[in-house]
Chain A
Amino acid sequence: MKKKQPSRSFRLDILVCAGTGCVASRSFEVKEELQKEIARRGLHGEVRVIATGCQGFCERGPIVIVQPDGVFYQRIAMKDIPFLVEEHLLKGRPVQRFMYVPKPEEPPVPKMMDIGFFRHQQLIVLRNRGRLDPENIEEYIGFGGYRAFEKALTEMPSQGIIDMVKTSGLRGRGGAGFLTGLKWELCRKSKGKVKYIVCNGDEGDPGAFMDRSVLEADPHAVIEGMAIGAKAIGAGKGFIYVRKEYPLAVKRVEKAIRQAHKYGLLGEHILGTKFDFSLEVVQGAGAFVCGEETALMAAIEGRVGRPRTRPPYPVESGLWGRPTNINNVETWANIPQIVLKGAEWFASIGTKNSKGTKIFSLVGKINNTGLVEVPMGITVREIIYDIGGGIPGNKEFKAVQTGGPSGGCIPKSLLDLPIDYESLTEAGSMMGSGGMIVLDEETCMVDVARYFLNFTQGESCGKCPPCRLGTKQMVEVLNRITEGNGQETDIEFLEDIGRKIKQSSLCGLGQTAPNPVLATTRYFRLEFEAHIREKTCPAAVCKALISYYIDPEKCGGCVVCVRKCPSEAITGEPRKVHVIDQAKCIKCGICLTICPSKFDAVKKLSPVIK
């Protein structure tokens, strides 16, 4: 099984990130070009190019890492490749100009582990990210993969595995934070011979992509975790439900399952024991509500994904009425490490009630967009400034939105809040799946609240009236506030109806849908009041409340905006000041984006110019 030991016969390994982000920045072409150039230089016997899973630093793609030196190159373009190969691979001189530069005045950072973004992270789930080829099971095995499964299968009684997971304190990473070991135990004790396990990979929260990355970068870790869970619970079949929007993840997981079967790690009589377990991938079809466990099971059974009331909980009556244990991708991927390193090790990381690490996707108005895995208890400030590198363009930090459409926002005053399940809930937000959307002074909080409500309203399955009709009412009120027609009683109305929707909805989607509004009216009430009373949008976002205006002092008379304006609202001749006709302007913002930066003459103003 271990005939191909990675990186033994090669002098250098060139790791090219092949996560969705880097692929979108053309990393496959970079990989091909690197291979060609290496061959042209006669280095193909000593340098190997490997496509890896997501490195997490998506903002800087395509990312290329040279091992064993650990040199990190970013934003590699096709034209850079000949020089890079000649200098670093042939002559052994790392190329400074492709390296990461934290701030313009600072020197480049050559090594990956010295970059702030990576240095402050602690990797458990993502430990294999960017160091192995996710499409090759031998590499996973080479890095100690499936050893935990072997141990669980041959040395540990089922209850022993469950006790271990319970002692570790691992809680569900999908959002609600239920104790994983306890859930397993409940499922194990449920009556019935046939039991199922499910991996929830229907990562629906917009702005969260950790599950996609784990499935793409290390699919075998999820499969191994599930195989261990199946043995502990007594399940013979498992399903991995992946959303359709993640085609690369689907492909890699399917391939990984085929390989695991081939190696006798799935199937019948696994590793010579009496244990049988098989896995199947089910693709979603674009419905957010399917992330809710009862809806997800309906979708796997081939029905419309509408939730049902609980109890009975899936651990008693799940797929086809059988006991079913559902965990999220990140939860499953933690399991092999807990089995290998022990419950005490895992419990030593994190806070009193939230153990281990959590992956967050750091996106929005942040310099270092990407995926970060950090110990529970880290503060918001550390994530945003030490890892995220702060806010771009010297803008002011305003808030960070966590928990997606079910969560809320954390304002500036709570920057030093240590993050765990309880602290986020107390702050009026929630852990959710781990999306962190950073908002700056140019983000309108009313608009963000409206965005989320509009989202949940559109994704409401329609089964229960509080969610179906209540969210509709909320969206209508939020729309009128952003359009400048808000009324004095609107905030109280939103809060009142929001609480009622929370109390009376059928499933988690409805019960949490009002959160984004309730959190913003709590922390950003003044911004709501400005929209309602003064008809202004302080962040200059809400279209109905802003005007575009050309500063006559700055306008260079270049006619670029005159030509591009789709509604012919701008008049002006070369070298003369241009003017926007407010009656004709459709506020598309083209003039603002194309005005040359040397003039920077177009401004957004609120309230509107009459």
Chain B
Amino acid sequence: MTNPEKILKRYNLSREHIIQILHDIQQEYNYLPKDVLGQVARRLKIPLSRIYSMATFYAAFSLQPRGRHLCTVCMGTACHVRGAPNVVGRLEERLKVRPGETTEDSMFTLETVNCLGACALAPIVVIDGEYFGQTTVDKVDRLVDKYYEKETAQ
């Protein structure tokens, strides 16, 4: 695992780039670990409270470890009128979590996003960066099954 120092150096320890730094840290650790944020605060000489306020204000950041697979449901208007609420409802039921939470077995983190701008494919579900378009309640059911099958096969 990269030292946070490497990420900080990438941005010349510039405070202005704090959002980009947090992005890179999340990319590296999969979330924003408390001790790493402490290190960032010390090195950039800004209060940890300010970093905490950034991390909680922006929806992209997570202070909790996330699951092995990130399942994102688009809640844009086009997805909404084509049935996204039913899709996310089904995923909540199946995974027994609410959006923003991670399943007990750390398999999935369920997230919603305002709009991915791929409205032609509404309603959209993205798992680990792979887009699944025109989803239905039944389709996401099969998707979840597929991921669990893959996991047990390994």
Q: Which residues of A contact B (CB under 8 A)?
A: 20-21, 23-25, 58-59, 61, 203-209, 212-213, 244-246, 282-288, 299-305, 361, 363-365, 369-370, 401, 404, 435, 437, 439, 443, 448, 451-452, 455, 459, 461, 564, 566, 588-590, 593-594
CA distance A288 to B58 in the complex (A): 9
CA distance A212 to B118 in the complex (A): 10
Interface band, chain B: 35 or more
With A363-B78, A439-B81 already in contact, the answer to whether A25 and B16 are too (CB < 8 A) is: no
Q: Which residues of B contact A (CB under 8 A)?
A: 14-20, 22-23, 53-54, 57-61, 75-78, 80-83, 86, 89-90, 93, 113-122, 124, 131, 133, 136-138
With A20-B117, A304-B53, A593-B138 already in contact, the answer to whether A588 and B90 are too (CB < 8 A) is: yes
* A23: nearest chain-B partner, CB-CB: B131
Instruction: List residues of chain B with CB within 8 A of the CB of A24.
Output: 118, 121, 124, 131, 133
Are A437 and B78 in touch, CB under 8 angstroms? yes
CA distance A303 to B117 in the complex (A): 26
Are A212 and B117 in touch, CB under 8 angstroms? yes
CA distance A206 to B116 in the complex (A): 8
Instruction: List residues of chain B with CB within 8 A of the CB of A284.
Output: 19, 58, 60
Instruction: List residues of chain B with CB within 8 A of the CB of A23.
Output: 131
Q: Pick the contact of A287 from B17, B58, B136 — CB < 8 Å?
A: B58
27 residue pairs bridging A and B, Cβ less than 8 Å apart: A20-B118, A24-B133, A25-B121, A58-B120, A58-B121, A59-B120, A204-B115, A205-B115, A207-B76, A245-B113, A285-B19, A285-B58, A285-B59, A286-B113, A303-B54, A363-B77, A363-B78, A363-B120, A364-B77, A448-B77, A459-B114, A588-B86, A588-B90, A588-B93, A588-B137, A590-B137, A593-B136
With A244-B60, A286-B58 already in contact, the answer to whether A299 and B19 are too (CB < 8 A) is: yes
* A435: nearest chain-B partner, CB-CB: B77
CA distance A209 to B77 in the complex (A): 12
Are A302 and B93 in touch, CB under 8 angstroms? no
Are B20 and A283 in touch, CB under 8 angstroms? yes
Instruction: List residues of chain A with CB within 8 A of the CB of B119.
Output: 58, 207, 209, 361, 363-364, 369
Are A282 and B19 in touch, CB under 8 angstroms? yes
Are A364 and B114 in touch, CB under 8 angstroms? no
Instruction: List residues of chain A with CB within 8 A of the CB of B116.
Output: 20, 245
Chain B nearest CB from A404 CB (Å) reads: 7
Chain A CB count within 10 A is highest, among B19, B22, B81, B122, for B81
Instruction: List residues of chain A with CB within 8 A of the CB of B19.
Output: 282-285, 299, 302
CA distance A361 to B77 in the complex (A): 12
CA distance A492 to B30 in the complex (A): 47
With A58-B120, A207-B115 already in contact, the answer to whether A301 and B131 are too (CB < 8 A) is: no
Are B22 and A451 in touch, CB under 8 angstroms? no
Instruction: List residues of chain B with CB within 8 A of the CB of A20.
Output: 116-118
Chain A nearest CB from B43 CB (Å) reads: 14
